């Protein structure tokens, strides 16, 4: 309470907890590579604001989370769907769609995909990361559902699989703990984080501090709170 309360990147204690969580999952992360925002959808809207302009294409799975489509259309962009097969993901279809449409971004949900519930295996993550690196397409990976596993955790974050791929990872406390927290985060390069902070200037002045403190406690105690 001795501060103004405005922090556009997020409280250090929460960013440290988020960075530690990524590192424990196999993706080494520093706190300055993390930005706290008001939920995962807000994170995606901010990324769209920075990376896209009217008429740009954004590749998505088909079907996918309806609010992601709304965010893309709200940014005056065009969603381009890649149909999901009976099982897994169509990597050849993804590569062909990127080649044909030259999208600014590709937004994917590999961990317990909404609405299908499927989880992308490690070889497919490798292929997707390789496609992104080869085509220089920025991937936006939504990990909102990553904690919703039963028998075994999902593979490491997709950002682990090819260091040459540009990957921005979105996370959220909403599905793991409580949607009412409205706490999300972005994991990206420090350069991208700095640009996102600038892009945020005219949107809001940061994420509520009390909720950030609550989220940092929840993450610190996740091993006992999550199934």
Q: Which sequence spans correspond to the domains of the chain?
A: 12-222
d(CA 11, CA 118): 33
The pLDDT of residue 2 = 63
d(CA 176, CA 223): 12
- Which residue's structure tokens are 């440290």? 16
Number of Cβ within a 10 Å radius of residue 146 = 23
**12-222 CATH pick, 2.40.110.10, 3.40.640.10, 3.30.750.24, 3.30.160.270:** 3.40.640.10
Number of Cβ within a 10 Å radius of residue 217 = 14
pLDDT tens for the chain, residues 1 to 227:
566 677 899 999 999 999 999 999 999 999 999 999 999 999 999 999 999 999 999 999 999 999 999 999 999 999 999 999 999 999 999 999 999 999 999 999 999 999 999 999 999 999 999 999 999 999 999 999 999 888 888 999 999 999 999 999 999 999 889 888 899 999 999 999 999 999 998 888 889 999 999 999 999 998 888 76
d(CA 141, CA 147): 15
Instruction: Report yes or no: 120 and 87 within 8 Å, Cβ to Cβ.
Output: no
CA distances from 17 to 23, 24, 142, 162 (A): 10, 11, 18, 24
d(CA 65, CA 141): 13
The pLDDT of residue 151 = 82
The pLDDT of residue 48 = 98
The pLDDT of residue 1 = 56
Q: What is the pTM of this model?
A: 0.95
Q: What's the token pair of residue 155?
A: 């593979």
The pLDDT of residue 68 = 98
Helices (H), 25-90: 40-51, 66-74
């Amino acid at each position: 309470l001795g501060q103004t309360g405005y922090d556009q990147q997020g409280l250090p204690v929460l960013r440290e907890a988020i960075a530690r969580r990524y590192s424990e999952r196999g993706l080494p992360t520093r706190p300055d590579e993390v930005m706290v925002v008001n939920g995962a959808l807000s994170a995606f809207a901010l990324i769209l604001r920075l990376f896209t302009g009217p008429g740009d294409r954004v590749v998505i799975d088909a079907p996918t989370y309806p609010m992601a489509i709304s965010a893309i259309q709200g940014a005056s962009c065009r969603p381009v769907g890649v149909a999901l097969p009976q099982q897994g993901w169509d990597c050849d279809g993804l590569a062909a769609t990127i080649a044909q449409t030259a999208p600014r971004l590709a937004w994917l949900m590999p961990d317990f995909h909404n609405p299908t519930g499927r989880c992308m295996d490690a070889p497919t993550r490798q292929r997707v990361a390789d496609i992104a690196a080869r085509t220089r397409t920025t991937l936006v990976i939504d990990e909102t559902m990553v904690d919703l596993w039963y028998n075994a955790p999902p593979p490491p974050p997709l950002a682990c699989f090819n260091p040459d791929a540009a990957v921005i990872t979105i996370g959220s406390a909403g599905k793991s703990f409580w949607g009412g927290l409205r706490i999300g985060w972005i994991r990206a390069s420090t350069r991208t984080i700095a640009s996102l902070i600038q892009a945020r200037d005219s949107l809001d002045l940061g994420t509520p501090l009390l909720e950030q403190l609550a989220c940092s406690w929840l993450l610190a105690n996740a091993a006992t709170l999550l199934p």
